[in-house]
Amino acid sequence: MTAETTVYRAERVWTLDAERPRAEALAVRDGRLLAVGPLAEVRAAAGPDAREVDLGRATVVPGLVDAHAHLHGLGRSLTTVRLEKAPSVEDVIQRLSKAPASSFQGDWLLGKGWDQNEWPGAAFPGRTELDARFPTTPVFLTRVDHHAAWVNGEALRRAGITRDTPDPHGGRILKDASGEPTGVLVDNAMDVVEAVIPAPTREQLETRLRAALERCAQVGLTGVHDAGMDLQAFRTLQAWDAAGTLPLRVYAMAAGQGEQRHTYLEQGPWQGRHLSMRSVKFLADGALGSRGAALHDDYSDEPGQRGLLLLTPEELEARSQAFMARGFQVCIHAIGDRANTLVVDVLLRGAERTGTQALRHRVEHAQILRLEDIRRLGAAGLVASVQPTHATSDMPWAETRLGRERLRGAYAWRTLKDAGAHLALGSDFPIENPDVLAGLYAARTRQDAKGWPEGGWYPKERLSAAEALEGFTVGPAWASFEEARRGRLKPGLDADFVALSADPLEGPAAALVDARVLATVVAGAEVFRAAG
């Protein structure tokens, strides 16, 4: 039986292929691109029996990939209480009071997305308000950056946290003037409570992962680099991939922070059809918003505080070299300039000692760097996995945290690229929304959706339209060793592409704010088609 061939035609097709950058149509057969070019040429290659799909005035681009994201986290945020943009503690309590049943894991009430920077005074919350409304139900609410949690007294009681509990390494248990825990836990201190929360049921996990994958397809993602996948989620996706029901491509990084790393290290790199795991994710420090990002000097708005290293330098180096020696690409979360100095040291030294420079090791976020570390990172050709919408989310308060001088090397995409780093763009969802069009817009403008600030925030670090699109296509393909199969549209490559209502190359950047994803195609299969 002859495989069906489908011809897709659109107003324009941007291929990112230097030999033929623009086309009118493409033909798909057996999950690969059969032909890309003028409509008549593509029709001739496809043959008279080919099915034809008219995408109208759409712009088709290569499959868009989020190079740093968290599928299970997105699924949990879609099915538990959403606290993003809550303007006050009182609003948070109201939302929790209306929590759907899916917000509970065991008898624990879960929520995600609060940000004290959105509230009057911008101070961390306390447990008092939670205790008044939920005196016996344990509550666990992760901050928007997932590097702090807000819990109530019942959650502290179950975790055994009291005034006498010391801070764990790489974590802070915030306490009031009398020494009592306030209910805010930063970075590794969160683990003390999370350890006593019941694991999600198999049904919960599958529901969350399906919701996340569906959402990704809707926003035009054909693939996701999952930054630190737990074993339960990985086994679930393995089963779906074996059954042929995993709709998107998932480049999974093993969770290297906890005890599951031993299982991954023993297993070694793994490759399936749409799922692969040949990388590992570590965290060097926390996040800027919760003042957990590790800095060389004090925070500008909290003298004496320089953030947290979540692993000792010795442990980070030992773990990194163990995984390098096993054939894994090593990806390390680094936000603060002190963490980035450490991570560049660890990756360069480890790659030399293990002879694994070809494994394309990655700095995840590469958010605040000294200029000399940008030069070292670029000269070594490391991957800088950065998130454009982090800059536009943080710009109202980042200077307060860091001061103007340190911002010279912060969110510095242009400087990183010019230094020689391989840029791979993402969102870090669910910390940010998975909307890849918002990422393209932020990369080009460094502005919010309303166009603020005029001219862009530190505009010299903007990317061009072509560089932004390559950051979500060519960049992630390189960062996942798939540049020979994906990232561009040319015959023989995988048939992964997206149809958009706006042109991300020649159209105005502002048009991306209200643009729509019309279709998402993975291996020639439509995984999303917009109504109408």
Per-residue pLDDT of the chain (532 residues; tens, 9 = 90+): 457 999 999 999 999 999 999 999 999 999 999 999 999 999 999 999 999 999 999 999 999 999 999 999 999 999 999 998 899 999 999 999 999 999 999 999 999 999 998 899 889 999 999 999 999 999 999 998 888 999 999 999 999 999 999 999 899 999 999 999 999 999 999 999 999 999 999 999 999 999 999 999 999 999 999 999 999 999 999 999 999 999 999 999 999 999 999 999 999 999 999 999 999 999 999 999 989 999 999 999 999 999 999 999 999 999 999 999 999 999 999 999 999 999 999 999 999 999 999 999 999 999 999 999 999 999 999 999 999 999 999 999 999 999 999 999 999 999 999 999 999 999 999 999 999 999 999 999 999 999 999 999 999 999 999 999 999 999 999 999 999 999 999 999 999 999 999 999 999 999 999 999 999 999 999 999 999 7
Would you give the end-to-end CA distance of the chain in angstroms? 32
DSSP class of 405:
G
Q: Are 26 and 59 in contact (CB under 8 A)?
A: no
CA–CA gap between residue 111 and residue 27 (Å, rounded): 45
Q: What six digits make up the tokens of 23?
A: 């086309």
CA–CA gap between residue 518 and residue 496 (Å, rounded): 14
Q: Are 293 and 318 in contact (CB under 8 A)?
A: no
User: 75 phi and psi, to 5 degrees?
Assistant: -60, -40
Which pLDDT score, from 0 to 100, does residue 2 have? Answer: 55
Which pLDDT score, from 0 to 100, does residue 237 have? Answer: 98
Q: What six digits make up the tokens of 112?
A: 């995600």
Question: How far apart, in Å, are the Cα atoms of 369 and each of 102, 142, 374, 387, 476?
Answer: 40, 26, 6, 15, 22
Q: Which residues of the chain form CATH 3.20.20.140? A: 202-488
Q: Are 274 and 248 in contact (CB under 8 A)?
A: yes
- 91 exposed, middle or buried (CB, 10 Å; 0-12, 13-18, 19+)? middle
Q: Are 459 and 183 in contact (CB under 8 A)?
A: no
Which pLDDT score, from 0 to 100, does residue 173 have? Answer: 96
Residue from 279, 365, 284 nearest 328 by CA: 279
The model carries a pTM of 0.92
Q: What six digits make up the tokens of 359?
A: 């494994």
**What fold, for 107-195?**
Diaminopimelate Epimerase; Chain A, domain 1 (3.10.310)
Residue from 410, 419, 409, 411 nearest 386 by CA: 411
Q: Under CATH, domain 202-488 is a member of which superfamily?
A: Metal-dependent hydrolases (3.20.20.140)
CA–CA gap between residue 149 and residue 128 (Å, rounded): 15
DSSP class of 301:
T
CA–CA gap between residue 70 and residue 370 (Å, rounded): 28
- Nearest 5 degrees, angle CA 331-CA 332-CA 337? 140
For residue 335, give the amino acid letter: I
Question: How far apart, in Å, are the Cα atoms of 349 and each of 34, 195, 328, 385?
Answer: 44, 34, 15, 20
Adjacent-strand bridge partners of 191: none
Q: What six digits make up the tokens of 526?
A: 């439509």
Classify 215 as helix, strand or coil: helix
Q: What six digits make up the tokens of 438?
A: 């918002």
Residue from 190, 105, 180 nearest 147 by CA: 190
Residue from 204, 149, 141 nearest 174 by CA: 149
Q: Which residues of the chain form CATH 3.10.310.70? A: 107-195
DSSP class of 320:
H
Q: What six digits make up the tokens of 385?
A: 């996995």
How many residues can be counted in the chain?
A: 532
CA–CA gap between residue 530 and residue 273 (Å, rounded): 26
